[in-house]
């Protein structure tokens, strides 16, 4: 019997599961290639592919504050093949800063997993006359309007971290936005910028070179990358815990079986000790959490940043 006859008879009918497995899973990133989130995604992609027995590719779609990439995933078919690999920026700080987003961070997505977290380090210029965090706060209070902090741009997590620090301590630092952190470190070394909140991956080399001094980490616990550095809470600022989180979302209405398959695969990926070691090399720590944990993390974070934006008098963008 010829192939056409077999197909007509239903004996060679294509298997949906096999057809699905031959198509790649796309990890859509609202960030450019070469950045820290891209590095994490590319580190995890081959391990996830092995677990799923299915190709996994990274699809960078930067620009627009992450909105176009996020909307692209929201509108994709809920078949488990298009996933959003993202951070606080699209599901926490973005909704706090933009009042008319084309997506709802909870209603329009299926949570898959919390993957990793990264703190910021509290950095000061070498010439700042403070050896600890409380001394720095006292110095800033004694010089109202004259102490500043730089960031990689308005609305970024380092910017909002500085605003939260002001609210918690009354430091009254003035925000100075830059396009990226490269320029901030040059100004920090000269003493024209007094403080910066930056992830360990870029902060620690600048501390080692003498461009900055680290006073604390904003993590919930000390970072293995700098175990002698106290947390901000330990250093005297209660409630000052800020972490960038990395998570994976699918479009809304993803079937429970597909969600469970992805969750199980990612849990296996995050249990890999070599992966966890390499994550540390990127300045992040594995932080496994299933769908409920991711939803709660994003919601709590979002509510906190909405309050910070309001209390700091920042103006959300329309």
pLDDT tens, residue by residue, 255-299: 999 999 999 999 999 999 999 999 999 999 999 999 999 999 999
Strand, helix or coil for residue 151: strand
Q: What is the pLDDT of residue 150?
A: 96
37 assigned to some structural domain: yes
Q: What does the alpha-carbon distance between residue 53 and residue 101 come to, in Å, rounded to a whole number?
A: 35
* Cα–Cα distances in angstroms (integers) from residue 228 to residues 215, 224, 233, 241, in the given order: 10, 9, 14, 17
208 and 126 inside one domain: yes
What is d(CA 36, CA 34) in angstroms, rounded to the nearest whole number?
7
| Bridge partner residues of 244 (DSSP) | 118
Which 3 state secondary structure label does DSSP give 74? helix
Number of domains into which the chain is organized: 2
Question: Which residue is listed with tokens 């001094």?
Answer: 213
User: Do both 268 and 284 map to the same domain?
Assistant: yes
Are 103 and 71 members of one domain?
yes
Position 309 confidence tier, pLDDT thresholds 50, 70, 90: very high
Q: What is the CATH number of the domain that holds 147?
A: 3.40.190.10
pLDDT interval class at 20 (50, 70, 90): low
Q: Name the residue range of residue 81's domain.
A: 25-118+244-311
Within a domain: 250: yes
Q: Are residues 110 and 127 in the same domain?
A: no
Tell me the two tokens of residue 201: 């991956």
Residues 33 and 108 placed together within one structural domain of the fold: yes
Which of 174, 198, 217 marks a domain boundary? 217
pLDDT tops 80 at residue 13: no
> In terms of DSSP bridges, do strands 213-217 and 121-124 run parallel, antiparallel, or are they unpaired?
antiparallel
Q: Is there a contact between 195 and 173 (Cβ–Cβ < 8 Å)?
A: yes
| Residue 152, in any domain of the structure | yes
**With a threshold of 0.75, does the pTM exceed it?**
yes
**185-227 pLDDT per residue, tens:** 999 999 999 999 999 999 999 999 999 999 999 999 999 999 9
> What are the tokens at 43?
């580190």
- The DSSP element (H or E) to which 109 belongs, if any, is strand 109-119
β-strands 82-87, 148-151: how paired?
A: unpaired
| C-alpha to C-alpha distance for 158 and 180, rounded to whole angstroms | 11
């Amino acid at each position: 019997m010829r192939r056409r006859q077999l197909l007509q008879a239903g004996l060679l009918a294509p298997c949906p599961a096999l057809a699905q497995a031959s198509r790649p899973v796309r990890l859509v990133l609202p960030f450019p290639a070469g950045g820290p989130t891209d590095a994490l995604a590319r580190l995890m992609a081959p391990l996830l592919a092995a677990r799923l027995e299915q190709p996994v590719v990274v699809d960078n779609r930067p620009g627009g504050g992450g909105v176009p990439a996020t909307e692209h995933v929201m509108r994709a078919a809920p078949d488990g093949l298009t996933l959003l690999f993202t951070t606080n920026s699209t599901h926490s700080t973005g909704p706090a800063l933009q009042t008319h987003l084309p997506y709802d961070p909870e209603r329009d997505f299926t949570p898959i997993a919390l993957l990793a977290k990264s703190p910021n380090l509290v950095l000061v210029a070498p010439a700042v006359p403070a050896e600890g965090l409380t001394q720095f706060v006292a110095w800033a209070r004694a010089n109202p309007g004259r102490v500043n902090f730089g960031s990689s741009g308005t609305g970024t997590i380092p910017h909002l971290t500085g605003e939260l620090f002001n609210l918690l301590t009354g430091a009254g630092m003035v925000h100075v936005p830059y396009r990226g952190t490269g320029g901030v470190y040059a100004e920090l070394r000269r003493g024209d910028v007094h403080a910066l909140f930056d992830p360990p991956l870029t902060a620690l080399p600048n501390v080692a070179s003498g461009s900055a001094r680290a006073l604390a980490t904003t993590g919930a616990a000390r970072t293995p990358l700098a175990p002698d550095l106290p947390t901000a809470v330990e250093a005297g600022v209660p409630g000052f815990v800020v972490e960038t989180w990395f998570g994976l979302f699918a479009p809304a209405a993803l079937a429970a079986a597909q969600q469970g398959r992805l969750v199980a695969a990612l849990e296996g990926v995050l249990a890999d000790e070599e992966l966890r070691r390499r994550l540390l090399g990127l300045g992040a720590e594995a932080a496994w959490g299933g769908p409920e944990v991711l939803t709660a993390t994003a919601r709590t974070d979002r509510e906190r940043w909405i309050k910070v934006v309001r209390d700091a008098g920042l103006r959300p963008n329309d």
